[in-house]
Structure 1
Amino acid sequence: MTRYAAAFISFLAVVSAQRRGASTTASDVENGVCKENTLIFARGTTEQGNMGSVVGPVLATAMKQALGDDKVAVQGVNYAANVNGAISGATNPANAAGAKDMAAQAAAAVAACPNTKVVLSGYSQGAEQVRGALMNMPNNNVVAAVTFGDPLMDQDFANIDAAKTKVNCVQGDGVCNGQFAISAAHLSYGSNGNVDDSVQFIMQMVGGAAPAAN
């Protein structure tokens, strides 16, 4: 067993205790919803639903609050998000099942809503899916790519200007520095301020107005 696999297996009990079975699913693209902006999100390893619970629903809610609920469609990526996928996705992200589904969801969103601005995002293993999806999208409508707890943080994104990308990795997150030691830091992205910072970045990329000051 590789060190990566061992770390993830030992991590499962911690994650399940933190998440307590919570899951979130969003399927706007599959349901034909057409809005000005489309968020396509890939959850992390072992998360449930198609959005997970650590980052996905937090990011979606924050985007809707910032840009307007009527201006944001949300779609979760359909893939297993299991340990084996995390390992293979780190070495060959373009062939990852989630990457292919993310690219297909982006294409479907644009086909149904040609003027929509597509934002790709993912957490942990989901970050690998973002990178793999872009590898499969030489021509795309992606205005921003945002990752959290990214195992491939040191690699460039394909087929997108670097200025349109944002990688969130906090001190102590072993997944980001190649140690694959899952810690509380890796589970902190939904509550540590990175989502708010990322929404500000996304707003700049889509051309949305900043929220009014209180």
Structure 2
Amino acid sequence: MRRVLLVLSGLITMVTALLVGPAPHAAAASCPDVEVIFARGTAEDGAPMGLTGTSFVTAVRSQLPGKSVVGYPVDYPASANFNNRMAIINSVLDGVRDSQSRITALARNCPNTDIVVGGYSQGAVVASYTLSSGIELEPRYQQYTSQVPKPLPTAVAPKIKAAVLFAPPSDRWIQDIGAPSIAVGPQYRGRTTSYCIAGDVVCDGAPVQQPNALHVLYSVNGDTLDAARYVAARV
């Protein structure tokens, strides 16, 4: 299975490079019309945006001719060290803090910029917690409560026009690993869409296990273009 994933990953890297070109850079000094804040998946190729994020931002740009669209890659480790639970927790928390910091800075400095939040796999967890109305820890983790990021300020909510989650871990997956629910806050639910390829064990409700080959196809199966159309209808 590892060999299959490596082959698929290499193939996707080549196809994505041909189809979408180089990864978009973070916003320049001037304020763009739209900024996509995207968190890549666990150890995903194509850092810092990841293959899925690169494909998505390029697709959004294609659906908004005449508008400036930039991508902001969330600065976080996207750790694959699943033998160290604290490493994974800290990875996700780093992503949430950076995402929220970027959102609040944009809302303050670029009031006319429409914000889109997105993520793939572990990055979808980051995006969901970023937009959460409150992350609730299990009793056994209460000693970490002080480290949990607060919800975004209410004033920034109207600036966030859409949220897109690719392969967000299912409720079953999240429960099996003892993590808090990844539901976005109620003010964002009408602006959020998610994608799960049938049979992708990370997001389809299967018990926790190693991701399968379907989990790495989101950058090339058409979902990023469909998600871009979703965004274009809301900015």
* TM-score (structure 1 length as normaliser): 0.77
Between 141-150 and 107-116, the greater mean CA deviation after superposition: 107-116
SS at match of 1:161: helix
Counterpart among 7, 28, 38 of residue 41 in structure 1: 38
Secondary structure of 1:205's counterpart equals coil
Tell me which of 47, 62, 72 is aligned to 1:65: 62
Residue of structure 2 equivalent to 1:51: 49
- Range 39-48 or range 176-185, more displaced: 176-185
SS in 2 for 1:83: coil
Unpaired segments of 5 or more residues in structure 2?
133-150, 173-181
Aligned-residue offset at 1:92: 6.3
Aligned match of 1:78: 75
2:211 maps to 182
CA distance in 1, matches of 2:168, 2:53: 14
Of 114-123 and 191-200, deviating more is: 191-200
For 1:193 and 1:100, the matched residues in 2 are separated by 30
Report what 2:198 is aligned to. Answer: 171
Residue in structure 2 matching 1:28, options 22, 26, 29? 26
Question: 1:41·1:121 contact (CA, 8 Å) conserved in 2?
Answer: yes
Does 2:220 correspond to 1:205?
no
1:103 deviates by: 1.1
Is 1:162 matched up with 2:225? Answer: no
Question: 1:184: how far off?
Answer: 1.9
1:90-140 Cα deviation digits (max 9, x unpaired): x96996111111111122222231111100000010001101211331422
* Equivalent position to 2:160, from 135, 139, 142: 142
CA RMSD of aligned residues (A): 3.0
Unaligned runs of 5+ in 1: 1-9, 207-214
Match of 1:106 in 2: 103
**Structure 1 position 85, deviation (Å):** 7.3
Whether the 8 Å contact between 2:5 and 2:212 is mirrored in structure 1 is no
- Asked whether the 8 Å contact 2:59–2:228 carries over to 1, the reply is yes
Q: Distance in 1 between matches of 2:54 and 2:223?
A: 14
For 1:34 and 1:153, the matched residues in 2 are separated by: 37
Residues 1:195 and 2:210 aligned together: no
Question: Does residue 19 of the first structure (1) align with residue 9 of the second (2)?
Answer: yes
Decide whether aligned partners of structure 1 residues 50 and 69 sit closer, same or farther in structure 2, where only a CA change above 3 A counts: farther
| C-alpha displacement of 1:162 | 1.4
1:145-191 deviations in Å (ceiling 9; x for gaps):
10001014685312533110101011110111243431121111112
| Aligned AA (2:169) | P
